[in-house]
Structures are given as C-alpha cells and as structure tokens.
Chains A and B, each alone.
Chain A
C-alpha cells in the first residue's frame, strides 16, 4: 500500500529550480533510498514529502490526504505525531540531557513527564546509549549523539522516518553500526523510511533506490539520458 506519494512536484528557490516535476510512490513499511549527486534535489524532495516545505506545484499525499494543501499548523502536528526526522547532525538541544532530548517530542505531543522519561530511557537503551542518558550533547561522541537523535526520531513510534544523510558526519564503522540499528528498529516497528544519501554503501541498506538528477527522477538509476552530460542538457 502506498503511504506517501509525490505527483509532479516542483520546487524552486528564487530562480533555482530544485525539483522539476518529481513523481514517486513510497510503499508502507519499505525502506527507500533517495540517491543522487549534490544539488540533485533529494533533500528538497524529503522536505516536501515530510511537509516541511510546501511545493510550488504538484501534489504530495500522505495516506491519501493532500499534505501540500494543509496549513502549517496541521502539517506541524502531523510531523510531531506521525513522522520522525533525522538529519546529518543530530540537532540535539545542547542544554538538555540525552534523555530530555529524546523525551522532547513526547512532551510536545502532551505525554506526561514521567511516562516520557521512561520511554526515552527505553529508546536510549535499545540504541545502546543508556549510559549517556544524563549527559549533555557536548559530553558525547558524534556516534552517541547520532544514536540519541535516532532515539528521538523513533520515540513517538512514527509511521514514517525521514533521514537526510543520517551518517554523513560519522566514520564508516560508526556509520554502519548506526545504520544497522536504524534498519533493524524500523523493520521491527514497520516504520517506513525515506533515506536520503549520496553514498551507495548507505543506499544498500534500503530495499529500493530512487535516483534524482537535476531535479527529476532518473529512471535508469544514475544513467544519464544520452543527451545529458556534465556541461549541459
């Protein structure tokens, strides 16, 4: 069953076209890699699908509902309850401890403090970082911070996890450990994952790959159309 769908999505920043009509379907429970070189529009696509950005044209539907026509308030609520978001740099709140950071999305959604704390500790434990529950981000390694960020993204048990170069700042061993955990937990929870990456080794953790090039889906999987080259199109 399709959970997320983009139809002819167009998005520009000023005169720069980031997406020039992207159409993709994401099936419920699948782990989909969105790949392509820098500047191909993959992060913009993730932001449009997650309801963070509103497309200039085209449709984004989530569970059959037109996300692109919703108000910012409604999209924001959806992001808090149904979606989890994970970026290259964990973006943990520096003043809060790991457990407080992980509990934050639950507190924002109205969960009681004690219950949120217990859930946060449980997720830190599942990600193997229970020992840093009371540490602040500055006191943790990059890998520990990113594991906390994964815990925070999954603590609400979202239906869809959006991950944008989640291991881009980590060394390869730390990166593979994190991806292994992320994929295992997502499969356990039947969470759909949209994994944006430029790295084929990261893309290989996904079930399927969609390649973008110059703001459009490259149907051949990184195969340029014969008329395209580095210097023009």
Chain B
C-alpha cells in the first residue's frame, strides 16, 4: 500500500498535523497496519521535497509547536492520477501462510503440513467470526464495515485454499504410505 498516496488523500480534506494524520489514517483504514509516527514524518518530508505537500502553519496550544501540512495543486494532481490507475493483479504469492505450508511439505512432510493447516484454519475462523461481529454491529462505521468486508473476503480465499491443500496433502500422504 502506498502510504504517501493515502496521506495525500487525507490532506485533500484540509490541513492536518502529523499526529492528526496518523490518527486519521488508523481510523479510516482500521484493518490496515497502524502507521508509525516516524513513517508519517518521513513520508511528509518526501512529499514536501517533491512539492506535493507544503507547510500550512505552526501553532502551539500550550504544548510543543506543531506544524500543519496541506496538499498542493501538484499533490492533488498526483492523487487524482493514482486514484485512476488500476493496480496490477499480484503476480507473485508473497504470503507467509503459503510459504510456511510449502516449506512444511518440503521439509517435514505431509503430517506436519496438515497439523499446521488445521491449526491455521481454526485461527482464520476465529478471526472471521470477530470480523463478522464488526460487520453486523449497528455501531460500526462505514469505514469499519468496508475494511471488515475486505478482510473477510481475503480470509475466505485463504480458507478455501487451506481446504484444498488439506485434501492434496492427504492425497500425498496416501501415495507415500499406501
């Protein structure tokens, strides 16, 4: 995910301090990994350098001085371009889940892979239940529901793969131990 573009998007609604940007990021993308303060400031620094963000002002409400940032016209243009670009469908499988099963089958054999898959399935189901509860809670915001949906559909894909792999692993076991 491009943190730079997300921060540009958040600034499109009006100027914000670094802390507000972090808080807004974590609230609006509730299932995404929380962004670190250091990453916010480093990213804003790069966006300033490229002329996409500029300093809007400084204030000091009883605490340390805070700088607020705003998006520039070039920044709006960059954001608009980004929103119009399609993302390439992921060409490589990069998940740890996949890597672990591939290695387990390779190194430890079918039984080890199966035990792992069974435990992983239970963990996935638990997460799926928690996300479903978020989705059905009338108090959930649209952002939370949209994020839960995204996570649920990806977990569903994982779970289908886990089931198929369990079947394939069982077949492999039968070939090795007829």
Q: How far is the CA of A180 from the CA of B148 in the complex (A)?
A: 14
User: Which chain A residues (155-181) contact chain B, with CB distance < 8 Å?
Assistant: 176, 179-180
Can you name the residue of chain A whose Cβ is closest to the Cβ of B163? A222
B136 closest partner in A (C-beta): A180
- Whether B36 is near chain A, meaning CB under 8 Å from some CB there, is no
Asked whether B131 lies within 8 Å of A230 as measured between CB atoms, the reply is no
Query: B118-143 interface mask toward A, CB cutoff 8 Å, 1 = contact, 0 = none?
Result: 10011001001101100110000000
Contact of A231 among B125, B128, B131, B171 (CB under 8 A): B171
Complexed CA–CA distance, A179 and B162 (Å): 25
Nearest chain B residue, comparing its CB with the CB of A177: B136
B49 at the interface (CB under 8 A from A): no
Chain B interface size range: 20 to 34
Within the complex, the shortest CB–CB distance from A57 to chain B, in Å, comes to 28
A 1-33 binary contact with B (CB < 8 Å = 1; else 0): 000000000000000000000000000000000
Q: For the complex, what is the distance from the CA of A206 to the CA of B122, rounded to whole Å?
A: 14
Report how many residues on chain A are interfacial, defined by Cβ distance under 8 Å. Answer: 26
Is B173 a contact partner of A223 (Cβ separation < 8 A)? no
Q: Which residues of the partner chain B approach A184 to less than 8 Å between Cβ atoms? A: 136
**A223 and B156 within 8 A (CB):** no
Shortest CB distance B49–A (Å): 44
B150 to nearest A CB, angstroms?
Answer: 13
Q: Are A223 and B125 in contact (CB under 8 A)?
A: no
Instruction: Count chain B CB atoms within 10 A of each CB in A183, A223, A225 and give the residue with the most.
Output: A223
Contacts of B173 in A (CB 8 A): 226-227, 229
B146 to chain A, nearest CB (A): 13
Chain A residues closer than 8 Å to B177, beta-carbon distance: 227
Residues A200 and B159 in contact, CB atoms below 8 Å apart:
yes
Residue of B nearest to A224 (CB): B170
**Contact status of A230 and B121, CB under 8 A, knowing A200-B159, A205-B136, A222-B163:** no
Residue in A closest to B127 when the chains form the complex, CB atoms: A204
Most buried by B among A180, A207, A232: A180
**Can you pick out 21 interface pairs between chain A and chain B where the beta carbons lie within 8 Å of each other?**
A179-B136, A180-B136, A203-B125, A203-B128, A204-B129, A204-B131, A205-B129, A207-B129, A223-B114, A223-B118, A223-B166, A224-B170, A225-B170, A226-B110, A226-B111, A227-B174, A229-B171, A230-B167, A230-B170, A231-B171, A231-B174
Residues of A in contact with B (beta carbons under 8 Å apart): 176, 179-180, 183-184, 200-201, 203-207, 209, 220-232
Q: Knowing that A176-B136, A228-B170, A229-B173 touch, tell me 16 more A-B residue pairs with CB under 8 angstroms.
A: A180-B136, A204-B125, A204-B129, A205-B129, A205-B132, A221-B118, A222-B163, A223-B117, A223-B121, A223-B166, A224-B114, A224-B166, A226-B110, A227-B170, A227-B173, A231-B174
